[in-house]
Amino acid sequence: MNRDEIRGKAEKAKGYIKEETGEAINDPALEAEGRGERVAGKLREGFGKAKRKVGEAVDDVVDEVEE
C-alpha cells in the first residue's frame, strides 16, 4: 500500500464521519462536505492503487529483461 492509498482511505473515513454527523444533527452543509470528502478519498485511493499496479508491472518487466 502506498501513500496515496493510505491518504485516500483516511479521507474517506473522515468524510464518512462528517456525513453521518451532518445527518444526525440535521446539517445539510456538513453532510454534503462529508460526501465530497468521501468521493475525493475514493478517487485518491484508486489513483494510488493504479500507481502501485503500474510500478509492479514495470518491476516485472525489468525482472524478465534481467533474466
pLDDT tens profile 22-63 = 999 999 999 999 999 999 999 999 999 999 999 999 998 988
Give the cell for residue 22: 451532518
Alpha-carbon torsion 27, 29, 34, 39, what sign? positive
Is pLDDT at 67 greater than 80 in this prediction? no
Tell me the CA end-to-end span of the chain in Å, nearest whole number.
27
